[in-house]
Structure 1
C-alpha cells in the first residue's frame, strides 16, 4: 500500500515562489526591485536590466502572482491634477518571509516557544523547565485553535484536524498500524545538539495540540526512530474515557 505523506501548504507556496526565480530575467528584475529604497515602476526596472518594457511588465506581474512582489499605484513624480492620467503601477518586495528547506524545518516555531519560556521565567520567577513545558503546550493548543479547519466543530472531520495541523507545520504525519508517525523533525539541527531539551519541548507541544482537539483516545509519546520525529501519536482509550467522565460531571 502506498502511503501518501501530507505536506505543508506553506511549504508548497514557498517552493512555487522560489521556483519563479529560476528564470534569469525574472531573477534580475527581482534583485533590482529589492535593492531599491522605494517602489519602482516597469520603465525604471526595464532600463536597469536592459529589456523591453513589455518584457519587464510580464515578468514583474509574474513575480506578483508568485507572491514575491507587491504592487501599489501612484502618479509619477511631478505629475498631478486632472490631466495627469491614470496612476502607474509600482513594485516592491513583499513583507513576508519566504524560505524553502528540504526536508521542511520550523526553527521559527522552536524560537517562539523558547523566547516565550525565557520571558515568562524571568518575569514570573518560575523555573525555565516549567516555563518551557507550559509555553510548548500553549503553542500546541494555539496551532490547532488557529488552524482554519478547527473553526468548524461538529462537522464529522474533527479527527483529521490534528493531522492537518501537523502537516501544516512540517511534521509529515503518516498512519502506520494505527499509530501516527511523524516522518520529519521540524527542529532537526536543534534536536541533534540539544536532544533532551528539544525532544521534550516537542512532546509537550504535541500534547498541547492533542489537548486542544479534545478527549479522542490519543496520546503522544517519545518513540525515537531513524530519520523521523521523536514523537509518535498512539491510541490511548484512557484519555477518551477520562473525557467522557468529565462530560458526565
Structure 2
C-alpha cells in the first residue's frame, strides 16, 4: 500500500525537479538548494515514508518507496520530472526510473551506486535510541545524548534535523525509527527494477566518499548506460552540504544541457 508523502512544492513552469533525501534525512535538508533551483523551474522536495512529516508505515523496500513517489507524481499531475536523489534517495529514483522510464525526464544520482552495501549504521541507531530514552528538553541536551554514540559533530547536527518540539514539551524524533530499523536490510539492498534506465543521467560522487568507488562503475554503467559521472573534490558523502556551490553548478549545467 502506498503512502501519501509529505512534500514542499515551489510551483512554477516547465518540467519539475523532484528532490529525494537520503536515509534519516528530510526535505528540509534541501531548503537552500531548492531556493536556488526554484528561480529556474518548479521544484518538489519530498519526505519519504517514515521520514520528515510523512506517515509511518511498515516496509522500506525500494519498490515500495518508488511506488510512493510515483503515486505523489500522479497526485500532483506530474507526467514527467527530473529526479534527483541522494544516497538512499538515489536508489529510490533509480528504482522509479527502471520501473517507469516514461515518467523520468532525467536522473541525478548523488553519491550512491546501484548495488547492495554492508550494514554501517549501528552507532547512529544507538544514538537515536539514546535520544528517545533521554527525552531532551533542548538541543544542547540532545547533542550530548547523541554524542554518547556518535563522535562526528557534523553527523550529530544532521541527525538533529529530525527533532521537533512535542505536544507535552521537550524534543522528540519525527522518524518512524521502528519501521526504518525493521526495514534496514532492504535499505542496504540494490535498487528495484530489472531493465537499465537509458535516459540522461548525472552521477555525482564525493572525492572523499567511499560510496561510489571506481570498482562500482562497471555495474553502474550496466544499469545507467548513459550516465555522466562527475567527482566533486573535497566532498564526502554529504556532497551537497559540503560543496554546495559545486553541487549546484553541476546540477544546473546538466539540466541546462537537456532539451526540455
Q: TM-score band (shorter)?
A: under 0.3
Q: Which is strand-richer, 1 or 2?
A: 2
- Give the alignment's TM-score, normalised by structure 2: 0.22
Greater relative contact order (Cα < 8 A, sep 6+): 2
Q: Which is helix-richer, 1 or 2?
A: 1
Radius of gyration: which is bigger?
A: 1
